Amino acid sequence: MPRKSSKHLPSIDLHVPTIACFNQAETPLGVDFDALVAAMQKFVDEHFAPVWGTPAKLVKSKGFLKGAWAIAFLDKTRDASMEGYHDVTPEGLPMSKVFVKNVLDQKDKVSVAASHELAEMLIDPNANLYSTGPKKNHLYDYEVADPVEELFFEVDGIPMTNFVYPAYFESFHKKGSARFDHMGTLDRPFSLHLGGYQSYWVNGKEKTEWGSKPKRARFEKEDRRGHRSSFRHKTKRKVSKD
């Protein structure tokens, strides 16, 4: 029996993740969706993947694609402070959700929230990677956008998130001896931008440190359920039971 033609469907590369990007939000994004997907692809190709070695193929779709990861743009969730978080597709593959109305209500940019989720999903798709650091018995979440959150640069005129470099998680580097983030704002490993934060595990409990008191105040008003930090917590509990 002849196979059905798939010429109208994007091909799935098993070695490079295909990420289905679909917009189900009724709230205007504040940016053309085609241009946003193109800018995020350029963000990966020219900025992120050369540093981290994590290529990806972003495709615009109307929904989930078989074998593909996903970024879904939705209107809102239960808490107005939640802009995006980590989830899984119906197949159990990595997925990020971006809540457009929540992002705009907080006067943030949809493109920054989306590229933030994209970057962290590419580096740690299962939200289960950690790093040792400068403090004994501390395991730091391997999140590449959180420490420099609220900073962004433009790709084809569209704001994209700043992100840390691998040297950020290597505590042997001396101050000013390496590049620690893409925009060059940090000068040593495990440091924080004023708008950033870093979560870590110590003595079986998750804790967080912030780049500034105002950031802590904003952070503590957020509903963190469904955020990558809570996803990590679920993952850790499952591992501890096996």
Domain around 157: 18-241
Q: Which residues contact 234 (CB under 8 A, 6 or more apart)?
A: none
Tell me the pLDDT tens digit for each residue of 167-201.
999 999 999 999 999 999 999 999 999 999 999 99
**Per-residue pLDDT at 65 exceeds 90:** yes
State the average pLDDT over residues 13-18: 82
169 within domain boundaries: yes
Q: Is 70 helix (H, G, I), strand (E, B) or coil?
A: strand
Portion of the chain with pLDDT greater than 90, in percent = 73
- Give the model's confidence band at 219: pLDDT under 50 very low, under 70 low, under 90 confident, else very high: confident
CA neighbor of 55 nearest in space, from 114, 155, 123, 113: 123
3 within domain boundaries: no
210 within domain boundaries: yes
**Per-residue pLDDT at 242 exceeds 70:** no
Distance of CA 146 to the CA centre of its chain: 8
Tell me the pLDDT tens digit for each residue of 119-174.
999 999 998 999 999 999 999 999 999 999 999 999 999 999 999 999 999 999 99
81 within domain boundaries: yes
DSSP string, 104-160: HHTT--HHHHHHHHHHHHHH-TTS--EEE-SSTT-EEE--SSGGGTT-EEEETTEEE
| CB burial readout 159-196, b (16+ within 10 A) else e | bbbbbbbebbbeeebeeeebbbbbeebbebbbbbbebb
Q: Which of 82-96, 145-159, 206-220 has the lowest mean pLDDT?
A: 82-96
- Give the model's confidence band at 109: pLDDT under 50 very low, under 70 low, under 90 confident, else very high: very high
Tell me the pLDDT tens digit for each residue of 18-49.
999 999 999 999 999 999 999 999 999 999 99
Provide the pLDDT for residue 106: 83
Provide the pLDDT for residue 241: 26
Q: Which residues contact 201 (CB under 8 A, 6 or more apart)?
A: 130, 138, 139, 141, 207, 236
Higher pLDDT, 238 or 228: 228
141 within domain boundaries: yes
Q: From the CA atom positions of the chain, what is the Rg in Å?
A: 18
What does the block give as tokens for 204? 């079986």
Question: How many domains would you assign to the chain?
Answer: 1
Q: How far apart are CA 75 and CA 134, in angstroms?
A: 40
State the average pLDDT over residues 60-72: 97
Please provide the average confidence, as pLDDT, over all residues in the chain.
86
